[in-house]
Amino acid sequence: MLETILESQALYSAVMFILVLSILVFVHELGHYLAAKSVGVKVRSFSIGFGKELFGFTRKNGERWKVSLIPLGGYVDLYAMDEDEVKDMDPKEVPEDAFFKKNVFARIWVVFAGPFANFLFAIVALTALFSFVGIKEPSTIVGSVMKDMPAEKAGIESGDKILSVDGVEVKTWGDLVEQISGSQSDKDLAVKVLRDKQEIDLILQAEETEIENILEEKIKKRLIGVTLSAEYAETKEVGFVEAVETSFVHTYNMTALILKSVKRMVTGEMKADVGGPLTIAEQSGKAAQGGVYALIMFMVMISINLGILNLLPVPMLDGGHILYCLIEIFTFGRGLHDKIKLAANYVGLSLLLMLMVFAFYKDISRIFF
């Protein structure tokens, strides 16, 4: 029975992983596709997945749209993406719809449009979510109470709902954190909680404590010693304008957090902890089980990660192609020598393979050991 349940959960996670990744890959590649069409570059094929074609269709203009066997990415095949493809042709005879014949800024736009589409997806998805569902934030219901901290000494219990701090109403966990963090040292705080439908007034003092945040940075914060309950959330209804504003802020904050995390992992300030396909599959299943809100928030996070990953200045990634174009600009059209570019591509490919192996290793270690 247990094996059947585990197998069904694994299958569900695998299906959700393929669905989520396919949507985000489609968004990314559609960005490249539309940008290529906007500057007159010929597109030969559009594929979700790599390897052998499973099914597809050919448009009247000759473009082949298909779904391929390995669902770990995708590609848009542009005509003459590499100059070597038409090196035997007379330059004057190379069609104008060849990618490499476009000016450098048009090429940058085509390459950049893929990651840009991932960020745009995040903003559009969040705007729709906030407009129709509202903005969900953790409530002020206490999950657990830390031993020997002010909350425990004052008598706060797990399941209490904190209503106000010093007369200021707190509706969300963010409001509560803001009030506690902004309190003065050695100042008594009047805290009102709801327990079993009864309001109780308590007095406590916040305690300045050194903690480690999500980026493994040691910071000092004023705390009372309670953790939030993941089971409860407050939903705030917002209009379209506020939904758009909040989606931009959320996308910006998540992007900044990911970039700072990458920087700290590269410099060794925090441990390198990356999730591979198995982790993403597992989290896809859990997000889908959490409902539409959780699933869209998860997709937004993955989409932003894809956008950032592809913009890294590593050969073989979009960021590497942009780097080549920038070098071409600063060298007045000469660009990198072919041998240097070939060597750089091998280095980039090696780095990507190493990252993939490391991600699989982390997945396997986490699941089986």
Q: What's the average model confidence in pLDDT over 128-154?
A: 91
Phi-psi region of 300 (alpha: psi -120 to 50; beta: other; left: phi over 0): alpha
Are 133 and 293 in contact, with CB atoms under 8 Å apart? Answer: yes
Per-residue model confidence (pLDDT) at position 6: 42
Q: What percent of the chain has pLDDT over 90?
A: 44
Does the CA dihedral 18-22-23-24 come out positive or negative?
positive
Per-residue model confidence (pLDDT) at position 2: 42
The string over 45-75, giving b where at least 16 C-beta atoms fall within 10 Å of a residue's C-beta and e elsewhere, is bbbbbeeeeeeeeeeeeebeebebeebebbb
Q: What's the average model confidence in pLDDT over 45-61?
A: 94
Separation CA 300–CA 322 (nearest Å): 24
The residues assigned a catalytic role are: 29
- Give the chain's mean pLDDT: 85
Quickly state the pLDDT bin for 215 (edges 50, 70, 90).
low
CATH assignment of 137-235?
2.30.42.10
Structure tokens at 109: 């736009």
pTM to 2 decimals?
A: 0.85
Quickly state the pLDDT bin for 60 (edges 50, 70, 90).
very high
